[in-house]
Structure 1
Amino acid sequence: MSYYFLCFLFLSSLTNVSGEEPYMIRILGKPGKVKTSEAMNISWMDCLTKCRLDVDCSAVYKLSDVQCQYFSFGSISTLQKADFQNDEIAVKIQISQDQCPTSNPLIPGPNYYTQIINGQFYMSSVSPYSLSNNIYNLTYSVATCPNNTKLFQRGETTKVCIGLFFFEDPRCNNQAAASALCKAQNGTLTGPANANEYEYIQDISNSSKYSSNPDSYEYVTYWLDGAGTNTAYTFEDTTHDGTTNYQWAEGVTRSKGAGQCLHNPNPLYFNISEYPCTATFLTKAVCWRGALCQVPPIIETY
């Protein structure tokens, strides 16, 4: 099958969550299974440009030099390969390199296009149909986080919802209770996987002193992922790359000792620290108020 590529400069107003740029990949093909589409009276080049910059566009089909068929998110589920030069279709995917590839990036697939729109994670994928060499499948999903959590992407397709979860009775509790609190939400304890996550974690943790501190402790802190074993920390969540992106309180001991667990923020330095896993509160000074959890998003497929 013939194929060729068209590359555009990345537009900074797009909310790109994977760190890769969207490309329109043009192939000899035509629409297969379609729910809805829109005919546009614009040139083929303008149609390609419009789709690339439109977060809701998944593919476009050339009807003529001055008209195209426009497919929004979820509206087309298969593409069919074609042998005629006038059957030209383009699908939007993300590519990590900064120039067009020299071989067909749709094979072997899958390839993805991801966007965060209004706090929801939109993902479309393109892959060859396993039962036919002449068909590509397109699939779509939308991930939404539960209340009081925020969506983050880790890696190409991993999505997590991060938030603070609070102990109820007693309101200050230990690391084992924090782990159980996350598991009750079908999640785990977690930690920051990058600088953006760390900034968010600090913001919600520090502000909770005023919004979620009914017993008026001087400091409130939260258990996060990491428990010592004498030689290393062990983690419940494998998607945040251990302590790579943890920012430590100045001068604190990182013994990794058995019975030592990690929490954030440190009452004195507002960064991550280590403390005995059995701690619950220190008089009226410090309360281990809950847990930093990652919980699965609610995913709707199309």
Structure 2
Amino acid sequence: MGYHFRYLLFLTILTDVSGEEPSMIRIPGKPGIFKTSESLETSWEECVVKCRADINCSVVYKTSDIQCQYFLFGSISTIQQAAPKGDEIALKIQLSGNQCPISNPLVPGHTYYTQIIKSQFYKTTLSQDSLSNNIYNLTYSVSTCPDNTKLFQRGETTVVCIGLYFFEDPRCNNAMEASALCKAQNGTLTGPANADEYEYIQEISYSSVDTSNPDSFQYLIYWINGAGTNTKNDYTFEDPTHNGSTNYKWIGGAPIAKRTGYCLNNPNPLSFYIADNSCTDTVLSPNAVCWRGALCQVPPKIEIV
């Protein structure tokens, strides 16, 4: 399909947005169902460039050589494909690499464009209509995390909200109770999936000594995802989205156990790293070390726009 091509320009995306650089796919087509749009007095090329750089823009349509129709996130729900050399429309999506795909990237299956803006996850899903090969459907969603958690993207479309959850009574407790604490939030124990997550986890864990330490323990530790097996360095995980212990940073000599009954926790009292301890540990020496809670990943609230 030679009329499917990508218009590539390397522009800087605003710093409060994370994710891969978007691509604008230009195809023969015109707007179908939409709520609102803007009319811009500009050339078609400049209109495409503007949309690509604008975090709020999803689709643009060429109405003339000096005018375009500009659709913001959530404002257009269908696109109708036209005959070659007719109407022209451009859609913002993500593609791997910097080459135009050989075949139509819009079919088969779903195509996504995702971005994180001000701690919210915006996702546009583009799919071919089940009743007509000439119509594409666009759906939109915004994911928001609960208070005291932070949003992280894992993979193409997986989003998790990571935070510390604290035991109430008793305030120091074991790994089984930590798992139950996460499950009570519809989540699971988790661990770092990358360097950014690891840094965030250490930051909130260390700062909790000053903010969530009513019994004035010298060290606070949190249970994270990972329960020992009979094989050294092998663990079972509740959360499959962080690629096991690949991104765990161990204290020197750890993990030490190669049997069941040992669980992973962070941070180690003597260092900025992850260690293993008996899953039943709750306190070490009065007012020295407290297993204060759990590092959980919980689902975001998803709003369909």
C-alpha distance in structure 1 between counterparts of 2:111 and 2:15, whole Å: 19
What is the alpha-carbon distance in structure 2 between the residues aligned to residue 10 and residue 288 of structure 1? 47
2: CA distance, partners of 1:207 / 1:15: 24
Contact 1:21 1:96 in 2 (8 A): no
Q: Which amino acid aligns with 2:301?
A: I
* SS of aligned partner of 1:267: coil
Name the counterpart of 2:147: 147
Query: Contact (CA 8 Å) 1:141, 1:300: kept in 2 or not?
Result: yes
Contact 2:182 2:294 in 1 (8 A): yes
Q: What CA distance in whole angstroms lies between the structure 1 residues aligned with 2:111 and 2:209?
A: 43
1:254 Cα deviation after fit: 3.4
**Residue in 2 that maps onto 1:243:** 245
- Of residues 259, 277, 289 in structure 2, which corresponds to 1:286? 289
Match of 1:92 in 2: 92
Match of 1:11 in 2: 12
Give the C-alpha shift of residue 282 in structure 1.
0.9
Deviations 1:218-267 (A, max 9, x none): 10000000001212200000000000000111223332421000000000
Counterpart AA for 1:3: H
Partner of 1:273: 275
Q: Is the CA contact 1:10–1:22 (under 8 Å) kept in the aligned structure 2? A: no
Percent identical among aligned pairs is 65
Q: Distance in 2 between matches of 1:40 and 1:186?
A: 46
2:33 is paired with a residue of what secondary structure? coil
C-alpha distance 201-183 of structure 1, shift in aligned 2 (>3 A) = same
CA distance in 1, matches of 2:171, 2:262: 21
Distance 1:84 1:162 in 2: 47
Between 233-242 and 75-84, report the one with greater CA deviation. Answer: 75-84
1:84 CA displacement: 5.3
Partner of 2:268: helix, strand, or coil?
coil
**Structure 2 CA distance for aligned equivalents of residues 112 and 238 of structure 1:** 22
Cα RMSD, aligned residues only = 1.3
- Paired residue for 2:225? 225
Counterpart residue type for residue 301 of structure 1: I
Q: Matches of residues 117-266 of structure 1 in structure 2 within 5 Å?
A: 117-231=117-231, 232-266=234-268
Letter in 1 for 2:291: W
Residue equivalent to 2:301? 298
- TM-score, normalised by the number of residues in structure 1: 0.97
* Paired residues for 1:22-37 under 5 Å: 22-37=22-37
Unaligned 5+ residue runs, structure 2? none
What whole-Å deviation, never above 9, does each CA across 1:99-156 have from its counterpart, x for those lacking one? Answer: 2222221111311111111111001011111211110010100000000000000000
Residue type at the aligned position of 1:220: L
Q: What letter corresponds to residue 198 of structure 1 in structure 2?
A: Y
How far apart are 1:69 and its partner, in Å? 0.2
Give the whole-Å Cα distance in 2 for the aligned partners of 1:137 and 1:143: 20
8 Å Cα contact 1:14-1:55 kept in structure 2: no
1:17, distance to aligned residue in structure 2 (A): 3.8
Other structure's SS at 2:52 match: helix
Amino acid of the residue matched to residue 172 of structure 2?
Answer: C
Cα offset for 1:38? 0.5
Q: CA offsets per residue over residues 141-194 of structure 1, 9 Å max, x none?
A: 000000000000000000000000000000000000000000000000000000
Contact in 1 for aligned 2:62/2:87 (Cα 8 Å): yes
**Distance in 2 (alpha carbons) for counterparts of 1:153 and 1:134:** 32
* Rounded Cα–Cα distance in structure 2 between residues aligned with 1:166 and 1:245: 24
Instruction: Give the residue type in structure 2 aligned to 1:251.
Output: G
State the 1:16 CA deviation: 5.3
The 8 Å contact of residues 16 and 118 in structure 2, kept in 1 or not, is answered as: no
Q: Distance in 2 between matches of 1:275 and 1:22?
A: 45
Kindly indicate whether the alpha-carbon contact (under 8 Å) linking 2:5 and 2:101 is maintained by their aligned counterparts in 1: no
Per-residue Cα deviation, 1:9-62 (whole angstroms, up to 9, x for no partner): 1425355544x3210000000000101100001110110000000000000000
